[in-house]
Structure 1
Amino acid sequence: MAQAKVCSERDATAADAMVDHLDSWSQVNVTFTKYGHCDDGEIAEGNSEGIARLLVDHWETLPQLGVLIRRNPRLKAFVLRHIDSTLDTVDLTKISSLATSSCPPGMGALCHDLGTVASKAGH
């Protein structure tokens, strides 16, 4: 079995710095690809907040996430994992609502998954 990549102090510092720049799905993808092995504690909470902000404040960009997930299917699990109980209940409710009422064409499966995890995290 492959050894899990260890998060060095240098990687953790870089991952922590990336958290403040999660303003697009491509940035989320870069963070996941480069620093997914550092996704723990404070960094994980920052990733969750960045992902929530993209979903709540920039829902219209969801198709960009869909394109990235098609290229890198493991990104979907990363995004879904970050819709969690560390997020504000109002954000979770909004994500759930948007997933149900404003799903972009062709994104039904992703919207369903987003709505499901947001609902579970909010309870």
Structure 2
Amino acid sequence: MQKIRVLMLIGLMTANIALAKTCAPSDAEAADVVVDSLNTWSAVNQYRVKFGHCDEGDIAEGISESVARLLVDHWDTLPDLTTQISKNPALKNYVLRHIDSTLDAKDLDKIRNQASQLCPVKQDALCREIKRAAEKAAQE
């Protein structure tokens, strides 16, 4: 019975890999053009849905910078992020993944400090995760 479960799990994993969309050059070009205009959490989520399959290299760095700009310069929009996450749970991991070592150390410090000291009401869990992500990125 255990062998059957393992084989089924391997089959499901293989099927998911086969279904993964590759980033065509035209997709990469479009993603690269749009990445600089991600100035709301809704826009970040729409981008994730449309271009998530292109999340590597320079494009990934651009997404990280957009996430950083929202967290550093527009911390007051954190409740909007929470609203978007409640509708689109995958957005949380996407945002946390983009709080990474490609970001400027000063931005990571500010993100960590805001998550520690300026967390909006009822956002404690998300703030802890953001703080952890910024600390981890600063150590890498």
TM-score w.r.t. the length of structure 1 is: 0.97
Structure with greater helix share of residues: 2
Aligned twin of 1:43: 59
Give the one of 68, 91, 100 matched to 2:107. Answer: 91
Pairs aligned (count): 123
1:106 shift after superposition: 1.1
| 1:112 equivalenced with 2:132 (yes/no) | no
Give the one of 88, 91, 95 matched to 1:72. Answer: 88
Find the aligned partners of 2:55 and 2:38 in 1 and give their Cα distance. 14
Give the one of 87, 100, 115 matched to 2:116. Answer: 100
Letter in 2 for 1:11: D
Q: Which has the higher contact order (CA 8 A, sep 6+)?
A: 1
Find the aligned partners of 1:37 and 1:99 in 2 and give their Cα distance. 29
1:24 shift after superposition: 0.9
Aligned twin of 1:27: 43
Deviations 1:57-100 (A, max 9, x none): 00000100100001110000000000000000000000000001
Q: Percent identity?
A: 54
Letter in 2 for 1:57: D
Deviates more, 1:14-23 or 1:55-64: 14-23
Find the aligned partners of 2:21 and 2:125 in 1 and give their Cα distance. 30
TM-score w.r.t. the length of structure 2 is: 0.86
Deviations 1:3-54 (A, max 9, x none): 2111111111111111110111111111101001100000000000000000
Structure 1 residues without counterparts, runs of 5 or longer: none
Aligned twin of 1:62: 78
Find the aligned partners of 1:79 and 1:44 in 2 and give their Cα distance. 11
RMSD value, Cα? 0.7
Aligned twin of 2:12: none
